[in-house]
Amino acid sequence: SLDNDPRIGRSVTEATDKNIEVIRALIDENPHISIRYIAFETGLSYGNINRIIHDELKLK
């Protein structure tokens, strides 16, 4: 059925409000935190975290 077919495009979970807030909290707690460590803590991919930091949080 169509429900079992692989999805095309970005993961639905990548930039949820919850993920954005978790990443914001980690950065607020430690402004020098690495993206790799955030990935380890959240289970999100490096690319998704990088995208959230730049596109959603507007950080460099």
pLDDT digit string, tens, across residues 20-53: 999 999 999 999 999 999 999 999 999 999 999 9
Alpha carbon 41 to its chain's center: 11
Question: Per-residue pLDDT for 1 more than 70?
Answer: no
pTM score, whole prediction: 0.75
17-19-23-26 Cα dihedral, nearest 10 degrees: 110
60: confidence class by pLDDT, cuts 50, 70, 90: confident
34-38-40-41 Cα dihedral, nearest 10 degrees: 140
> So what's the pLDDT on residue 2?
53
